[in-house]
């Protein structure tokens, strides 16, 4: 893998990207006292010059109105865009006037910035099926545009948070023929998250020059092994969207075909997207532990992904990890019902963390292990479940989290 370095800046890390975020009133104020700063609920980010833009959307049949509008705008604009507006607390989905209002959000931004509405994309996240209040958004757009700044990435990243407890940002710098390029991103969690789509809202920006076609290819290939290998609760959201915007301001020769430069770009993109995926898993609703399942020794990549995801999605295993109980039978059970073709009798399994590793199963059967060691390993807040199929060279990681009382609590009364 090419060398890269972690940097600050999130979606503003790459040259020529500004952002802003503020509270406009979609979220109910936690404290009605106007002197208290409210949590941001709307954000805008924009590039100084038009960006080639790639996108991946949810595969849910119920598609949020913002997603339909974003897709239409990208088609109309030849897969280029200048700005993205996004709100939290309301998904603007399953509303009769949803598309109209999503269009309105874009038109407001376009008018204020003096750009075509098709160059503005839109995303929403929050409760499904509640009418979106458009007035506070309209009222906020002038301030949003006026306050756009090359360093307000955190203001934007906090504005897309719903039940997230921390904002998620990551960025890297790398070189192409001596030209420094940057990729940065932000993401929101933390419930209704499940593979088979672009999970949740994820926005990635880069100053690297990449053709629209290669940008889409890099995004699709990387989503497969990052966001699509993530599950918090098995529910595929209606509003999932990943946008990857490339403005070319780094000044490298445009990547327009496969080859070394494409591979370098993709490796850096993987770092950012995998880091965000891990953050999303760790901040899963109610989560107390990050779970990573590494499936190795698989006959092919798809088998490795399928098995790793199956383990990460098991409610029973997730509850056992919450209880720090080395109930490895549940790992084998989930490996066994994964929809893939392999020999279960060769499988080995282990639990690992910074406190050590404990092998619990070999050749599909249990092996004696120390419950004391297992308890020590599972006391960590980051647990690896190592599954080796012993029938090939492919491997994949899937990310998830434990199932806790708090998940139930959060989701027992989410709308209020």
Residue 240 C-beta: closest distance to a second copy, Å: 10
Which positions are catalytic? 199
Which long-range contacts link 317-322 to residues 24+ away (Cβ below 8 Å)? 317/385, 318/291, 318/400, 318/401, 318/402, 318/403, 319/402, 319/403, 321/289, 321/291, 321/378, 321/383, 321/402, 322/288, 322/289, 322/402, 322/403, 322/404
Cβ of 30: how many Cβ atoms within 10 Å?
A: 9
Number of H helices and E strands in the chain, helices first, is 11, 15
DSSP string computed for 323-350: TT---THHHHHHHHTSSS---GGG-EEE
Residue 319 C-beta: closest distance to a second copy, Å: 3
Quick one: 142 or 366, whose CB is closer to a second copy? Answer: 366
Quick one: 325 or 382, whose CB is closer to a second copy? Answer: 325
Q: How many CA atoms lie within 13 Å of 109's alpha carbon, on the beta-carbon side?
A: 29
Which of the 8 DSSP states describes residue 93? -
Quick one: 169 or 285, whose CB is closer to a second copy? Answer: 285
Quick one: 116 or 133, whose CB is closer to a second copy? Answer: 133
Footprint of a second copy on this chain (CB under 8 A)?
A: 59-63, 91, 93-96, 127-131, 191-192, 196, 233-238, 313-316, 319-320, 322-323, 325, 327-330, 332-338, 342, 344, 360-361, 364-366, 403-405, 407-416
Q: How wide is the angle at C-alpha 305 spanned by C-alphas 303 and 311, nearest 5°? A: 105
Residue 111 C-beta: closest distance to a second copy, Å: 28
Q: How wide is the angle at C-alpha 86 spanned by C-alphas 142 and 119, nearest 5°? A: 75
- Tallying the residues shown for the chain, one arrives at 416
Cα–Cα distance, 406 to 319 (Å, whole number): 12
Residue 402 C-beta: closest distance to a second copy, Å: 9
Residue 199 C-beta: closest distance to a second copy, Å: 12
Q: Report yes or no: 121 and 242 within 8 Å, Cβ to Cβ.
A: no
Quick one: 25 or 329, whose CB is closer to a second copy? Answer: 329
Quick one: 37 or 61, whose CB is closer to a second copy? Answer: 61
Residue 329 C-beta: closest distance to a second copy, Å: 3
Tokens of 276: 């965000």
Which of the 8 DSSP states describes residue 146? H
């Amino acid at each position: 893998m090419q060398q890269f370095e972690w940097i600050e800046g999130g979606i503003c890390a790459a040259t020529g990207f500004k952002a802003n975020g503020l509270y406009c009133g979609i979220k109910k104020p936690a404290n009605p006292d106007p002197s208290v700063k409210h949590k941001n609920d709307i954000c805008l980010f924009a590039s100084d010059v038009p960006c080639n833009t790639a996108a991946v959307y949810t595969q849910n049949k119920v598609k949020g109105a913002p997603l339909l509008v974003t897709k239409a705008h990208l088609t109309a604009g030849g897969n280029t865009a200048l700005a993205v507006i996004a709100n939290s607390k309301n998904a603007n989905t399953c509303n009769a006037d949803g598309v109209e209002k999503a269009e309105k959000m874009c038109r407001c931004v376009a008018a204020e910035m003096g750009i075509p509405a098709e160059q503005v994309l839109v995303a929403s996240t929050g409760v499904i099926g509640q009418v979106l209040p458009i007035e506070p958004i309209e009222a906020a757009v002038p301030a949003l545009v006026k306050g756009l700044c090359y360093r307000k990435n955190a203001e934007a990243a906090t504005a897309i948070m719903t039940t997230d407890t921390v904002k998620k940002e990551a960025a890297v710098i790398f070189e192409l023929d001596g030209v420094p390029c940057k990729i940065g991103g932000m993401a929101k969690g933390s419930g209704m998250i499940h593979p088979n789509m672009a999970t949740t809202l994820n926005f990635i920006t880069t100053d690297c020059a990449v053709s629209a076609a290669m940008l889409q290819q890099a995004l699709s290939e990387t989503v497969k092994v990052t966001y699509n290998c993530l599950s918090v609760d098995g529910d595929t959201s209606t509003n999932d969207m990943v946008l990857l915007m490339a403005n070319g301001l780094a000044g490298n020769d445009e990547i327009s075909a496969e080859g070394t430069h494409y591979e370098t770009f993709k490796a850096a993109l993987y770092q950012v997207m995998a880091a965000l995926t891990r953050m999303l898993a760790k901040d899963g609703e109610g989560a107390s532990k990050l779970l990573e399942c590494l499936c190795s020794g698989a006959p092919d990549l798809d088998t490795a992904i399928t098995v790793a995801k199956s383990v990460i999605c098991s409610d029973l295993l997730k509850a056992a990890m919450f209880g720090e109980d080395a109930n490895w039978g549940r790992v084998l059970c989930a490996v066994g019902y994964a929809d893939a073709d392999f020999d279960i009798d060769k499988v080995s399994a282990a639990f690992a963390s910074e406190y050590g590793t404990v092998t619990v199963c070999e050749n599909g059967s249990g092996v004696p292990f120390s419950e004391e060691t297992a308890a020590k390993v599972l006391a960590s807040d980051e647990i690896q479940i190592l599954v080796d199929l012993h029938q090939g060279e492919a491997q994949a990681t899937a990310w998830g989290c434990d199932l806790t009382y708090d998940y139930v609590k959060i989701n027992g009364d989410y709308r209020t």
